[in-house]
Chain A
């Protein structure tokens, strides 16, 4: 009995031509420009990106990939963090024992915890380096000023996330690091009982800003619960919202920053328009009917309008 050679082409057709497959993947994977564009457009995750970017925007020597790595670490932290929450109770009596249990008796417990901790420290490092890169390439300059401000908020949120998490193991390292960190709060001018004008305003250790932060006069059970809720719910949600805005603004500000240059095609197009203008003005006896200086028009920017020029979306500035 001769073994029949499987008809690859037919199998492929059967797999890729049925309703289930087609409902998931909406286009083929033939390597052409259209499918490459659709790969990005049809994918909810990839469509954070534009279809095309400037070549230096994909150059790791330019961006260092630091913003992207920061985001990747945030995702890793979310996943490992959820797993840690299965084993951890934010109660002073249990917290430390839960950590011991996780480190000694849970399969892959130490690995998950280590991933979470080192990703957190890594994120603090990469967010600082990302900011450094953005400064060095002057990428905060118009039109990206506001996205820089959002970035600063993200920097602060990253520190706060890391700091609130630092308390949760509830060991000596944790409570004393957080004690040292939050001791500063009592020196806040006007708000802390050891800050300038604090005592004069009647502030004591049980009614000042630090008391509000800790839920007590020292780092204790109330602080643990507060930091836990902030760490696992409030701060991640706020950070996620700010990241969404951050990414949205990157697109709306015209993509990754770069020197202002005219691409070859744009230059050609502009030359064509110029010659046409000359011809028309010649025909009409020299009147400049084009008004020549439409200041809102910049062919390089995403909407055909110059984003530095205020309102990129206002209809008046559209050509």
Chain B
């Protein structure tokens, strides 16, 4: 087509896709705010009272709050106006159900979930995980009984909560979105953003199920499921989740776990382990080409 396109041209063509701009904006803002809150936490953690406590005296909303809102609104409107003048919303060819584009991508904010489809079957990536995320978010205030860090930036006083949420949001949400938006091309194969999309690239799939790695094949020679493989897979998953139980057994006497109680602890352990499980499965796939841990005629994990 064109003379010769450089890596830079390809990179720009990815960034300039109108609907890719918001993903980049999210990445930038998330990076900025993680730095900002990190800094505010460090300041607070090095003092006896948080900065916010010294700003707890009351000021009148008019003008001290209203002027902030007013200025913020103007800035937001200016940014939005410039954005709307410089970048047109995309309008492609008319809808054609007979012509599937390759790749077909969901809106950018769901690309983290679409990215998970590489590692999980749709019933997990598309249904169970979103449900768990929503339920888990709602559960947070009820399982986090640490009274500290309410109303000010701190890491020292609630390291587990801050680390877990930051990891979930930044890595499992933002980074996966960036991955799905900028690093996936035709056939959902990995392409760097500065590389041409080759629709004919074929990546050989030689993934195997985890039990097969230790010599237990998933299918018998007559193509029925091998019960031993199912048992090994189920056992691995059971053992993984029972970590929660063993931690409870060991720690239930401590004051913190007593205050937490079995229900709160159970929910926390289940959510945390599930989140860790997602990471483990991703690593298993990337490092060992593992397809499923547990494969059954009804569902696969």
Q: Considering the chains assembled together, what is the distance between the CA atoms of A194 and B127 in angstroms? A: 12
How many A residues touch B, CB cutoff 8 Å?
105
Interface string of A109-151 (1 = CB under 8 A from B): 0110111111101101100110111011111111011101100
What are 29 A-B contacts defined by CB distance under 8 Å? A33-B60, A37-B60, A54-B56, A55-B58, A62-B55, A65-B72, A92-B95, A100-B91, A128-B26, A132-B30, A138-B149, A138-B150, A138-B158, A141-B150, A152-B138, A171-B92, A172-B94, A173-B92, A177-B104, A177-B107, A179-B104, A180-B106, A184-B125, A195-B127, A197-B299, A257-B151, A259-B150, A261-B49, A264-B57
Q: Are A58 and B65 in contact (CB under 8 A)?
A: yes
- Which residues on the A side are within 8 Å of B62 (C-beta)? 36-37, 39-40, 46
Residue among A170, A192, A260 making CB contact with B151, cutoff 8 Å: A260
Q: Are B90 and A173 in contact (CB under 8 A)?
A: yes
Q: Kindly report which residue of chain B lies nearest to residue A100, judged by CB atoms.
A: B91
Contact A261/B91 with A124-B109, A149-B138, A180-B105 known, Cβ cut-off 8 Å: no
Residue among A99, A129, A184, A220 making CB contact with B127, cutoff 8 Å: A184
- Interface assignment of A280: CB less than 8 Å from any CB of chain B: no
- Interface assignment of B169: CB less than 8 Å from any CB of chain A: yes
- Which residues on the A side are within 8 Å of B64 (C-beta)? 53, 55, 58
Q: Are B122 and A152 in contact (CB under 8 A)?
A: no
Interface string of A43-58 (1 = CB under 8 A from B): 0001001111111111
- Interface assignment of B66: CB less than 8 Å from any CB of chain A: yes
Q: Kindly report which residue of chain B lies nearest to residue A76, judged by CB atoms.
A: B80
Chain B 57-76 interface residues, beta-carbon cutoff 8 Å to A: 57-66, 68-69, 72-73, 76
How many B residues touch A, CB cutoff 8 Å?
94
B→A interface (CB under 8 Å): 19, 21-22, 25-26, 29-30, 33, 36-37, 40-41, 49-53, 55-66, 68-69, 72-73, 76-77, 80-81, 83-85, 87-97, 99-101, 104-110, 113-114, 121-123, 125-128, 134, 137-138, 140-142, 144, 146-154, 158, 161-162, 165, 169, 173, 298-299
Q: Considering the chains assembled together, what is the distance between the CA atoms of A264 and B123 in angstroms? A: 57
